[in-house]
Amino acid sequence: MSTSSALERFDDKARERFEAAGRTTVYRGELLRHPVYTRVLHWAVALFFFLALFSGFGIYLPWLFRWFTPIFGGGQLSRIMHPYFGVAFVFFFALQVVNWLPPMLWTAADSRWMGKIHKIVSGEEKMDPPDTGFFNAGQKLQFWEIVVGSIVFVITGIILWAGASTFGRMAVAISYVLHDISAVIMLGGIFIHIYLSTIGEPGTFQAMIRGAVSEAWAWTFHPAWYKQVTGRDPEQACEEARRGH
């Protein structure tokens, strides 16, 4: 059995077990977007990212963020807990990579989406390009940025955890810089993600809360996925909705 097959089997079993334990209600006029397992992974990744972030702020910039450290029981406990929060973040994100890898692969449709990004962001185009699938190019870029950032976190984190006695002062100094840069870049991406999932694309947030989205949301932001799961033309569905059919 290949490694990819084993990972797929693991992911399928995890989906089944979490779906049996949880529940996703899809009402009329809605589509299933994210099952229970996917939502649990998403919020676990978010939780440990911010725990690692806040504990890290208190460690690396105590003169500015010293008010974070009492949350974790003081500066010493923050230093102890920070790497464990980081390990948990990378662990759950690794599971999310397995869960989302196929739809996150780059396609020609994503390149075309990037070519129209100024019109999409400005709202000039009310619907995303018709070949936009389950994830758009922007979401995929952020996903792969987190993949790269997580690898940087693991490598630099091990060096910082072991210290100069193991890797040398130069390696530790470089790791501090790379670790912090990666965190800032990832935080910037998270801010954009939060904006788009709430204000920028209304209806997105409920996909990670309830697991379902409206059909209107689907044909607006992910028309190719809408067509795949419903068999209907997204533009025609949108026009019929406007006419009140």
Count of domains forming the chain: 1
Q: Which tens digits make up the pLDDT trace of 123-147?
A: 788 889 999 999 999 999 999 999 9
E strand segments, the chain: 30-32, 212-214
CATH number at residue 37: 1.20.950.20
**In contact, 54 and 76? CB cutoff 8 Å:** no
> At residue 1, does pLDDT exceed 60?
no
pTM of the prediction? Answer: 0.90
> Stretch 227-233: mean pLDDT, rounded?
95
Select the more confidently predicted residue: 128 or 122: 128
**Lookup result for tokens 């950032």:** 149
User: Two tokens at 180?
Assistant: 């912090």
Q: Inform me whether the pLDDT recorded for 207 exceeds 90.
A: yes
Enclosing domain of residue 237: 3-243
In tens, the pLDDT along 172-199 reads 999 999 999 999 999 999 999 999 898 8
Inter-residue long-range contacts of 26-32, CB under 8 Å, 24+ positions, other chains counted: 26/211, 26/212, 27/212, 29/214, 29/215, 30/212, 30/213, 30/214, 30/215, 31/212, 31/213, 31/214, 31/215, 31/218, 31/226, 31/229, 31/230, 32/211, 32/212
Lowest-confidence segment of 51-55, 75-79, 138-142, 191-195 by average pLDDT: 75-79
Confidence label for 64 from pLDDT (cuts 50, 70 and 90)? low
Parallel, antiparallel or unpaired: strands 30-32 and 212-214 = antiparallel
**Residue given tokens 């939780």 in the structure block:** 47
Q: Is the dihedral of CA 217, 133, 98, 187 positive or negative?
A: negative
- What SS3 state is found at 30? strand
